[in-house]
A and B are shown apart, each in its own frame.
Chain A
Amino acid sequence: MTDVATHRRTGAPRVGESAPRPDGVAKVQGRFAFSSDLFAENLLWGQTIRSPHAHARIIDIDIREALSLPGVHAVLTADDVPGELHYGLEHQDQPVLAADVVRYFGEPVALVAADHPETARRAAAAVVVSYEPLTPLVDSALAAQADPIHPDGNVLRTLTIRHGDLDATAAVVVEGTYEVGMQDQAFMGPESGMALPSADGGVELFVSTQWLHADRRQVAGCLGLPEDMVRITLAGVGGAFGAREDLSLHVHLCLLSQHTGRPVKMVYRRPESFVGHVHRHPARMWYRHHADTDGTLVKVEARLLLDGGAYASSSLAVIANATCFAAGPYRVPHADIEGTVVRTNNPPCGAMRGFGAVQSCFAHEAQMDKLAAALALDPVELRRRNALATGDTLVTGQVITGAAPVAEVIDACASHPLPDLAAVDEQPMMHRPGGAGRTADAHHVRRATGFALGFKNLLFSEGFDDYSSAVCRLENGAVTITCACAEVGQGFVTLAQQIAREELGIDEIVLAPAETATVGSAGSTSASRQSWMSGGAVQAACRAVRGRVLQQVARRRGVALDGLVLRDGIIESLDGSVRVDLADAVDGPIEETAEYHHRPTQPLDENGQGDAHVSFAFAAHRAVVDVDPELGLVRVHDMTTAQDVGRVLNPLQAIGQIEGGTAQGVGLAVMEELIVEDGIIKNRSFTDYLIPTTLDMPTVRIAALIEEPEPDAPFGAKGIGEPPTISSTPAIVAALRAATGLELTRVPVRPQDIALPRS
């Protein structure tokens, strides 16, 4: 028998410790293969021909010249799609290639494959598409009445929440109208992938994505193939943030590869990426809050209008979130809220970190500040008085049964010491609003703080059967975990190892590639769900393996099963008669597959009432800003945050998520917006679409990670990716309002909104 000591725990980090990323060394060495790094012998390069119009009828597509160019192997149009002509995440309405009409700027119309990327680009330019331009529908407010731009109409979904007494009112009433511009996920690694024909006539696709099995379902449908002939493997993902939940080049690559019988690769350039994925929904929101003189909220009325753009994507779920969480994380006994998402000829919108809750949080937090001002109450105190807690009822009628340490989150963030900032005129020029040489006069700069609170659901809602699958295999003392969870940077690969170590007491955990052929769906890497769902699946699979090991040992050694424990890779009996290394305990491999489901949820009824969500997470931010009101320049100096996390599985990763999520909220607050004119995105580059740099980003300070375990969740851990993106934006705008006295009802806040306010 092996010396048991050699297999003792060597200190590889378990749950709750800051395990390093298993892909970290490869990533710092440039050895990690992103989807843009793929290569195969005999490779062809694909290129997409896209609509230059936001709305037009296609009269004719002439591919003859393009096909005749040397090096060109295929030019495909909608006529070449063998299966379903449309795909979609929830609603199958998006053409693989537009056939008679294009509905947004950049919509794919035709495809080319050639032996060199430059040849492919030239061939794409040689495809002659004749269009009859149509008037684009670009105003979301007109969409419901306008002629439908799609056979199933322009209103994708309206959700009404009627809760309590709709006629209720109270002593203090504040009203406001708010807008959120279109934000882009702006991941760093543009869309890319490679498809190869497989021997059985099927196709193999390597692609960066968020949900392999949903991709497979849609790709197989469009190719007219059974799902098992489409094999999708996750290729290295350069960030996602929601933008990779829908298909982009997936079907296109497979079509070209099937057609040519050769491997085909595609890499979008940045301008194409900006039209090649969905964005965050722009929103227009009207609100009216009613409160008693002591600040107790009585009723919230709201009307939300989201612009879904040309195709449905995940709009139906986004509007549900925006509407369900429209009143904020507060006790609101009466509510009259209606949310609508419409189609327009603007770019399609779908998932982005925060998913609908970002938009309504900007509005409800502005309202809370307005109410605090009307009541002459401290804004933090107003939030504290109304904060949700476990046992409270949401405006959807759902009672919060899980952890809701909202008061703790508020207190931790608000009571954290303010940053020790130098006075404006004592700061180096670089620290002033706008940077060196731009602020006119240090004495004009005003400093202020703002506070905001936000929340959203974790996991999928409204009755969706959300699950994840994992396989655990123990062989010769080594453990391999197979799970199709898409690692997009969030660090699931680290957590999967930590969880397996925790459950089996073995340090060395191998993660098999994420792909569709070896394991069932893991669901989407979105909705802050993978730590919980795929973490739960990995945990369950490991426990099943552990159970079988203990059974075998018990049987073979004739001891009671419940007298055996597995600790640090060693199986021991309580009476000391058995002590065996896990590696030697069993004959042959043991493999177990687990499917993890969260507790079921219900659809919302016609009044928007129902147990629609599994769990909620809360976060607060406090921002400190300097503003030069004359020039409209802003410097965000400090973001302090506290978050309800259930339990921290990996402190370094958790904090990394919070810092990164906060950065995206900073971007939405003061700089990020896709400028869309007549349906056309004007700023399709990083020169014109600005995301925060090292200098734009303030210090992010974590006041507290509130650890109140979530009863249903594996290890009690809540998802942490999205809440930081929700409350950060409104906190900054609150600070800007406090500094300037302006209403600032729209994000991003631009210099002209401060320097040249409209009214």
Chain B
Amino acid sequence: MRASTDPHGKGVTMDVTAIVNGVERTADVEPRVLLVHWLRDELGLTGTNVGCDTSSCGACTVLIDGRSAKACNLFAVQVDGSDITTIEGLAIDGELHPMQQAFHECHALQCGYCTPGMVMAAVSLIDEYPDLGDRGVRVGLEGNLCRCTGYQNIVHAVLQAAGEQERHP
């Protein structure tokens, strides 16, 4: 990471290099820029949503080095050197990730605003704890709010995807 003064007069900027969805990205960003704004506004990855920007809702959840994190709760400069996956990077060769497939099949979304964050949080949760039951999934997703579904289908979807993962590790 290197600090410099931005030629457009934005003030001090810093170099950030990170792998985002498998592609190395380097940028000059102001230290105050939140990761979620960098992803959305600079990289055009608008799948990651902002529901609160006070780390209360989880709509902005992404994976940083494989673990879920709320992208409104980090500055872009903090991910220098990290490997980031957003919802856009989850499908492989156009094939939905089993978690995405399960959310679609189980009707685990209505408006879908919470969905990208919810899916990313669930992927990380199941990766870490593959054998969770209903309660464990609920504990693990407590930081992700959904206003539409009442969560029941979300929990079904996560359990379905976890089962798939067990069968095809």
Spell out A's residues near B (CB within 8 Å): 18, 20-21, 23-25, 27-34, 36-37, 185-190, 236-241, 267, 269-270, 428, 430-431, 488-491, 652-653, 656-657, 659-664, 685-687, 691-695, 697, 699-700
Contact = CB atoms under 8 A, between A and B. Distances in A.
A657 B147 CA distance: 11
B51 A697 contact: no
A66 to B, nearest CB: 19
Contacts of A490: 110
A185 B147 CA distance: 9
Nearest to B114: A188
Interface of A (DSSP majority class): loop
A238 B49 contact: yes
A133 B137 CA distance: 50
Given A29-B87, A30-B116, A695-B142, A700 B152 contact: yes
B109 A188 contact: no
Given A188-B57, A238-B113, A700 B147 contact: no
Contact of A188 (B47, B100, B143, B146): B146
28 contacts: A27-B109, A28-B96, A29-B88, A30-B86, A31-B47, A32-B112, A34-B49, A37-B46, A188-B57, A188-B114, A188-B145, A236-B112, A238-B49, A238-B112, A238-B113, A239-B148, A269-B53, A270-B51, A488-B111, A489-B112, A490-B110, A653-B107, A659-B149, A659-B151, A663-B150, A693-B142, A694-B142, A694-B155
Contacts of A269: 53
Given A661-B150, A685-B56, 18 more contacts: A24-B104, A25-B104, A29-B87, A30-B115, A36-B46, A36-B49, A188-B146, A239-B110, A239-B147, A240-B111, A430-B139, A489-B109, A491-B110, A657-B110, A660-B110, A663-B151, A693-B142, A694-B141
Contacts of A489: 109-112, 148
Contacts of B139: 430, 694-695
Interface string B37-57: 000100001111111111011
B54 A28 contact: no
A691 B149 CA distance: 13
A244 B109 CA distance: 19
Contact of A28 (B40, B103, B138): B103
B151 A694 contact: yes
Contacts of B59: 188
Contacts of B1: none
Interface string B12-48: 0000000000000000000000000000100001111
A697 B109 contact: no
Contact of B111 (A187, A685, A697): A187
A714 B40 CA distance: 42
A686 B52 contact: yes
B91 interface: yes
A691 B135 CA distance: 19
Contacts of A270: 51-54
A693 B145 contact: yes
Contact of A687 (B54, B107, B155): B54
A189 B141 contact: no
Best-buried of B56, B96, B144 by chain A (most CB within 10 Å): B56
B73 to A, nearest CB: 12
Question: 5 tightest A-B contacts by CB?
Answer: A30-B47, A489-B111, A27-B112, A238-B113, A30-B87
A674 B160 CA distance: 37
A242 to B, nearest CB: 12
B111 A659 contact: no
Contacts of B147: 185-188, 239, 241, 660, 663-664, 691
Contacts of B150: 656, 659-663, 692, 697, 700
B153 interface: yes
Contacts of A33: 46
Best-buried of B49, B86, B88, B107 by chain A (most CB within 10 Å): B107
B105 interface: yes
B69 interface: no
B119 interface: yes
Contacts of B143: 693
Contacts of B119: 28
Contacts of A29: 47, 87-88, 90-91, 96, 100
A237 to B, nearest CB: 6
B61 to A, nearest CB: 11
B44 to A, nearest CB: 8
